Amino acid sequence: MDLPDNFTDYYDEASRYYNDDYYVTTDESHRTKESAQDFTFITRILALLIFTVTCILGLLGNGVVISVITLKMKKSVNAIWFLNLAVADFLFNVFLPLNIAYTAMGYHWVFGKGMCKVNTFLLVLNMYTSVFLLTMISIDRCISVAFPVWSQNHRNPKIAWLLCALIWVLGFLLSSPALVFRDTAAHQDRVICFNNYSLSSLSAHHHLDEKRHKTVTILRFLAGFIVPMTVITVCYIIIIVRLKRNRLAKSKKPLRIIIAIIMTFFFCWCPYHVLNLMETQHHFLSKAVLENGIPIVTAIAVSNSCMNPVLYVFMGQDFKKFKVTVLSRLANALSEDTVHSTIARRSFTKPSSMTEKETILV
């Protein structure tokens, strides 16, 4: 999306990475510099392509999901989870053209400091809200399997809306460092959008600046990745063990869709977090790793915002029935609670009620 976060003209350490005079002007070094510039150009074009495709698919796909859930579906608990996921992704995709323009102009930011802050804030907010919603979905599924009777009595849309509101507030708070540290600065003939952990143009407290950088990065890694993914993993281990032990889950479609969404999130965001952690030790990284790596891993992370609607359609059980419309596939993938309610009601009237109810809750 932009240059590495540790960029600032005011750090002596960082200047080694972004000063064009760093290369010695011999024939060999000149060829090396040209090769590096060519590779940087290729990575920029690749990032631009990913941004563009993500924006188009994200706006269309998430827009359709929001419309289907809002206009055509009962507001079940599952529908509320998926609606909030789609809103988070759609909101980010609305501002994605700013990143497309920034990348296309060779990382020249023309939208002002305020939009620089908001743009990155929305990326981080999208990450937090998405992973927290996925975590809540996993906990919801786990409780439904482990404690089916309690879930049937207490699981309702009002609680789901309250939890979603808490998730948005928590995501906003954890994303707020972007509103504080994101900044713009002139560099050669460009204006760049970067993280200025010094909070001023002239800072004599480099150790404090680096501590802020590491604190924000590690907090984002733990709160936005490690802790949620650990909770999600534990939940699905419990679900799978319970289902295998009781030979449940006649239909694996709901479980398959959720696991696909979680795995997609993991593979999209894992490179982003790993490289950002490595960036906190930028003294040991080459210029090429940061210049080419960060735009690519950011683009991959951003692509997650368009993935969910695609998964809803392509992993629905009716996908092979070509006469079924895309809207029908979306509704089918998102409306598991309707089936759950039917089986759950029927299950209370049969001796095998517990087995049937647990089967459909996944």
3-state secondary structure 131-155: HHHHHHHHHHHHHHHHCHHHHHHHC
Cβ atoms 95, 122 nearer than 8 A: yes
- Cβ contacts of 37 within 8 Å, gap of 6 or more: none
Name the band, by pLDDT with cuts 50, 70 and 90, for residue 162.
very high
Average of per-residue pLDDT across 299-320: 74
What is the total count of domains within the chain?
1
Question: Domain for residue 19, yes or no?
Answer: no
| 10-19, 93-102, 196-205, 229-238: least confident range | 10-19
Average pLDDT, the chain: 78
- pLDDT at position 319 is 39
Task: Indicate if the pLDDT at residue 210 is higher than 60.
Answer: yes
- pLDDT at position 256 is 75
Task: Indicate if the pLDDT at residue 122 is higher than 50.
Answer: yes
Residue 283, both tokens: 């003294």
| 61-65, 260-264, 313-317: least confident range | 313-317
Question: Domain for residue 37, yes or no?
Answer: no
More confident residue, 340 or 252: 252
Q: How far is CA 97 from CA 61, 94, 100, 156, 314, in A?
A: 16, 7, 5, 38, 27
The CATH number linked to 88 is 1.20.1070.10
Cβ atoms 77, 155 nearer than 8 A: yes
pLDDT tens for 234-282 read 998 888 888 777 765 555 556 777 788 888 999 999 999 999 998 888 7
Q: What percent of the chain has pLDDT over 70?
A: 72
| 158-162, 198-202, 210-214, 217-221: least confident range | 198-202
195 three-state secondary structure: strand
Question: Domain for residue 143, yes or no?
Answer: yes
Question: Domain for residue 360, yes or no?
Answer: no
Whether the CA torsion 107, 113, 119, 124 is positive or negative: it is: positive
Question: Domain for residue 220, yes or no?
Answer: yes
Report the C-alpha gap between 251 and 255 in whole angstroms.
8
More confident residue, 313 or 154: 154
- pLDDT at position 290 is 79
Name the band, by pLDDT with cuts 50, 70 and 90, for residue 36.
low
Q: What percent of the chain has pLDDT over 90?
A: 43
Q: How far is CA 272 from CA 95, 229, 268, in A?
A: 19, 15, 8
Question: Domain for residue 48, yes or no?
Answer: yes
Task: Indicate if the pLDDT at residue 73 is higher than 90.
Answer: no
- pLDDT at position 39 is 76
Report the C-alpha gap between 181 and 91 in whole angstroms.
22
- Burial class of residue 120 (count of CB atoms within 10 Å of its CB; 0-12, 13-18, 19+): buried
pTM of the model: 0.78
Task: Indicate if the pLDDT at residue 232 is higher than 80.
Answer: yes
- pLDDT at position 328 is 62
Question: Domain for residue 117, yes or no?
Answer: yes
- pLDDT at position 318 is 40
Residue 108 belongs to domain spanning: 43-339
Average of per-residue pLDDT across 274-295: 82
Question: Domain for residue 356, yes or no?
Answer: no
- pLDDT at position 359 is 32
- pLDDT at position 335 is 62
Task: Indicate if the pLDDT at residue 344 is higher than 90.
Answer: no
